[in-house]
Structure 1
């Protein structure tokens, strides 16, 4: 069998995450792929467990494009289920942990999932709510329950591999539930092609270089996190997962793991800047720091650029896609009051109240389309 070169493979217009995961297991079996502070897996172990999950999902009757619901704390086990769902040909449906039991039940029902991977705390909340829950196969991510097996007991036997699900660019990759301003969570479907664009971000992103380590402190159910998580996995990097953000712990992990990449929201950057011992930690290995999800003031950007090594990239967009702008803040210190320019492959214009395009310099509403738009 020809040895797959992940970097050449990622230059293709479209490809499969499964091929990349298996290639990393062959090319760098001992490199750490996932680390959540409690458990740690190298690429060989990660690929084996992802394939066992995928094989069992298929054995259970999962259809191509069918959702698999996931609800719980961000851990290695959560990441394995997410990846296993994609490899099986399914559609990952990570559910927001802050949602009410009624919202969670509605999201699970709306997704069309037949499996719900869940941890003990969230399952207890759902069962105690007294709601009529959709008929899902509950699989525990942390501890076995009398009526719900532990995922390691449920998954296929060691050495199992899934059948090729024959997924294409238009098949669904994940459903992200967003409540927006209505309070009613709505499912945003991303295609496999959309995520491929995010995986194959290229050498300028720093992904794929030796020693690339991404530190994650936002939850895996968030599109904020997934954008760089999928790229980290695609290029065979190391993902360090935090269950909950804490300034001191984040700084300790960044220093200990020699982190190169991270994604933080503005309030996290503010807390780090305000943390008394911030300057005592060695963050010199950072090359790329990302930010999105909320307004990011010019003053805070300037302070982050001054005090934190590596580039600072602001992403201005929506989970639904459409308008996508990128600001390389470190390269444009005179433009920190802006959200940058349209991302490659995107088109952004301003329109007036009659939806007529406005000339440069005129204030209006932003309208856009991009390669990372939702399906439908």
Structure 2
């Protein structure tokens, strides 16, 4: 069966699509990195050797295969090899503490874990459950050239991967995503032109943000260009060299790229499709990208867990850049109050969503799975997004805050995003965040952090006074702290937990 025939069906698997592309376009580059590239025929053969070696080592269909490493061609091949063996690819963040990485390996019960040199050094002295394979010795571990794994039958409901949540608000949870969910990500992207894509990847491969670009590109037979470590000028140089057409970046990356004084000297005319997700994307930054960077800019709002997805084509709706767009076709996004009742249009509420792309469950966490679900009057299952939002009269969704970040002070609901929007307007503030801290009198109080803007002098007291003068009485910050850089995850989310830890350490 051809790749085109598979893509026209109701369901196909990525390993089968890879096999078809290898037969139909064997010499086309599938993966590229600074050290070289791999065509589809070579990638398919490498994936076979990995899958066969996994089966040789006793790894069973349905087992997790953990990967702790920076982005590379070998990393992607191992991910695909796990899928071909019927396993759940389980990419883990190497930026985590050794204890958290070990805990995630134990949680998913991976019988084998692949590590690069940095991860191996970080985990040295820690007991790793199961077998450890170092990427530098991958060649000696692989099955022989020409090896073929025992074929496995994959059903739509079978596990594709386990993605661990970033842990920005607590302990990471393993999010089990099915082949059906990933098929939805691939099949719905025909109009995006991934078949002829050269997709720049500058976010880590353990992030769902990255996979929603990598998987459709490989599924449709395009080329993925991997960047091991992001830097703005290096990204533009690589994109220009490869004549990149597609990319997924997070807001902080767009901000750093657009801030380069010589941005306009780079030839980016090959770009057709740029996307963004994972963190708040300021309207002014969207407008700048639209004005100066060729191609469409599309913002996606959704969750690793699935639920509903909203989409904003920034070029087409310049007056809606403060929103995250409207629900995509086939996705049902609603707003509910604290009692689980839907709110009228125009009122704020918690975002819940339903679509063909929804997680199966949190791995081994029945209570957490149940807490993430909401059911409508007809019994339809929705996923709670954890965000507070409001739909306008035209159906565009504006995000107001994270539900978990909600500060309740003296019985009043305070939304940190409202406070951050005001604080960010001060000319001496380059970046900022607001968290809630315990207060014996009021329950919680808002505390701000800001990164000073270079070249503009203003004291903390002056900025605090100015900000509070522009806030309501119940919203006012009780304290403000200057910080060199806000702690962020690899995909740009502010780690508010780290800010709370910082306060606690200074209070000791």
- TM superposition score normalised by structure 1: 0.93
Matched, 1:79 2:73: no
Distance in 2 between residues matched to 1:13 and 1:248, nearest whole Å: 42
1:139-189: CA deviation from partner (whole Å, max 9, x where unpaired): 111x2xxxxxx1111111111122221111111111111143443121011
> 1:178 and 1:70 mapped to 2: Cα distance?
15
Contact 2:47–2:77 (Cα < 8 Å) also in 1: yes
Q: Is 2:28 the partner of 1:5?
A: no
Give a deviation string over 1:253-292, Cα, whole Å, max 9, x none: 1111111110000000001110111101111111110100
Q: List gaps (5 residues or longer) in structure 1.
A: 144-149
Q: What corresponds to 2:158 in structure 1? A: 171
* Match in the other structure for 1:108: 105
Distance 1:27 1:213 in 2: 18
Higher relative contact order (CA 8 A, sep 6+): 1
Question: 1:146 is matched with which residue?
Answer: none
Give 1:137's aligned residue: 131
Instruction: Supply the distance in 1 between the matched residues of 2:134 and 2:268 (Cα, whole angstroms).
Output: 36
Moved more, 101-110 or 162-171: 162-171
Aligned length: 361
Which residue does 2:407 correspond to in 1?
Answer: none
Aligned position for 2:120: 123
Checking the alignment, whether the CA contact within 8 Å between 1:64 and 1:167 is kept in structure 2 is: no
Counterparts in 2 of 1:43-122, with a 5 A limit? Answer: 43-122=40-119
Q: Does 1:368 align with 2:363?
A: no
Q: Structure 1 residue 29: deviation in Å?
A: 1.0
User: 5+ residue gaps in structure 2?
Assistant: 362-508
Separation in structure 1 between the aligned mates of residue 126 and residue 68 of structure 2, nearest angstrom: 17
Question: Which of 1 and 2 has greater Rg?
Answer: 2
RMSD of aligned Cα (Å) = 1.2
Q: Is residue 186 of structure 1 aligned with residue 180 of structure 2?
A: no
SS, match of residue 174 in structure 1: strand
1:220 corresponding residue in structure 2 = 205
Cα distance, 1:33 vs structure 2: 0.7
The equivalent of 1:307 in structure 2 is 292
Residues 34-64 of structure 1 show CA distances to partners (whole Å, capped at 9, x for unaligned) of: 1111121111111110111011111222211
Mapping for residues 151-170 of structure 1, pairs under 5 Å: 151-170=138-157
Alpha-carbon distance in 2 for matches of 1:218, 1:94: 13
> Bigger CA drift: 90-99 or 321-330?
321-330
Does the 8 A contact of 1:217 with 1:264 survive in 2?
A: yes
CA distance in 1, matches of 2:266, 2:296: 18
TM-score w.r.t. structure 2 length?
Answer: 0.70
Aligned to 1:147: none
Q: 1:182 to 1:266 in 2, by over 3 A?
A: closer
Aligned residue number for residue 346 of structure 1: 331
SS of 2:194 mapped into structure 1: coil
Equivalents in 1 of 2:173, 2:189: separation in Å?
32
Give the structure with the larger strand fraction. 2
Asked whether the equivalents of residues 258 and 283 of structure 1 are also in contact (C-alpha less than 8 Å), the reply is yes
Distance 1:68 1:275, change over 3 A: same
- Asked if 1:290 corresponds to 2:285, the answer is no
